[in-house]
Every structure is written in structure tokens, then in C-alpha cells.
Amino acid sequence: MLNDKTGLILGVANKRSIAWAIAKAADREGARLVLTYQNERLLKTIVSLAEELTTKPILVPCDVTDVDQVEHLFTKIGEECGHLDFLVHALAFAKKEELVGAFHATSLEGWRLAMEISAYSLPALTRCALPLMEGRRASILTLSYLGGTRVVPHYNVMGVAKSALESSVRYLAHDLGPQGHRVNAISAGPIKTLAAAGITGFSRMMDQVASRAPMGRNVELTEVADAAIFLLSGRSSGITGEVLHVDAGYHVMGV
């Protein structure tokens, strides 16, 4: 489904990352990948994971709060690949202290940081990627969560950031549609990732979803990854501005 496609995936942290599951699925489907890592501490992990892929990926450091690193990333892609067919934005961050207590206690610094990394980075990266996507009918995908549309206790400022992210998907879809590019999001059910570890009561959240979801269970990483491949491939050529829920149906429940 992704033969002869070149894609950038940001957000791989370890083997439990949704971004890594998507990377493995994209590699399986024939894509050439560029993977980023935030800092030297994570480089060893990314190098080890990369050995599992069929095609050796290009590894580039990128902290999205550093403009110079973002510019270097896309310069490197231009030099090594010449173009870009898809971009997966799997980035989110909030300070741990902002994910406990009341939402109204969110600090200005915590608000700005969560918004910059979790939401603003999507249009910022898109802007840099567009020259490499020219004429490619590219696909851009990001990851959201139900906390962007409904209150999830302790999700706090991350919920607001996900709401901004989903709105950004719609505005970007409008901007990029005339060029043939598509922008979508997946709202995944709760999965035990590194990011989820910082959310108070996450295990209880998973139990609740499993007990109330129409399918009576939580979703697997591979299910999110397969949905991502669909949205990145030409088989979803008529879909843009969409938030696809991959959560065993939990989002349809009222009580």
C-alpha cells in the first residue's frame, strides 16, 4: 500500500509507541522512512528499533521546540530523499504536574509548552514539509484522543491541546486540499505507552473503556497502525479533515 512512498514519522520513543507501531506497518507496506529522535538519550533506542525494519531508515534528531533542528530535519530529507509522500505527527507533551489536580490550576508555562509541542508543531511541521510534498498528493496524519472532545479527569491541559490539534486538522485540510494533500487524525483508545504513564488513574481508565466499549475490550497497537496505513495510502484518497476513532467503539457511548 505504500510502495515507493517516502514518509516522515515523528514521535517514536520506544517499542510501545504508537508511532513505532505505525513505522513497522509502513515498513511492511513498502515505505522508505525517516524517523526522528528528540535527544541523544533516545538515539540508542531508535537505532536498536531501526534494526527491525526491512529498509534502513534515515535517523535525524529533532526537538520541535528548536527551529534550527526542524529546519535541519527537512533539509536532510530534501538531500537524502528529494521528496516526501506522508508525515506522521505523533507528538504530545505536558508537564507531569499539569496532569494532576484541577484544570484551572494549569500554569501559563505549562499551557504554552503543551500547546507548542502537542498542537502548534503540526502546522509548523506541515509548513516545512510542503515544498517536499509538491505534486505528490501527500497525506498528513496526527494522533488525538477522546479527551479533546470530552472531559477526561486528569487529562487537563492535554485535552485542550488535543482539541486545538483536531481543529488544526480541519483548517489544514482546507488549506492543503487544493494541492491534493490530505490531513487526518486518529483518535485512539487508551494504550499503555510512555506518554500514558504520566496520566493519573490510567489503568482504571483502561478498565472502564474495556467494560463499556461496544466491542468489550481495549484496542491494540497494531489496530491503530493498520488504520494509520489506510489513511496514509491512496485507498483513503477521498478522506480529509477526518478524526477516525479507533477505540473499540467507546466514543459512541453516552453512559
The residues annotated with a catalytic role in the active site are 145, 155
Distance (Å, rounded) from C-alpha 249 to C-alpha 85? 30
Q: Is 94 exposed, middle or buried (0-12, 13-18, 19+ CB in 10 A)?
A: buried
Which value, in Å, is the radius of gyration of the alpha carbons in the chain? 17
CA-nearest of 87, 56, 60 to 73 is: 60
Distance (Å, rounded) from C-alpha 129 to C-alpha 60? 15
CA distances in angstroms from 134 to 85, 113, 174, 181, listed in the order given: 9, 31, 16, 9
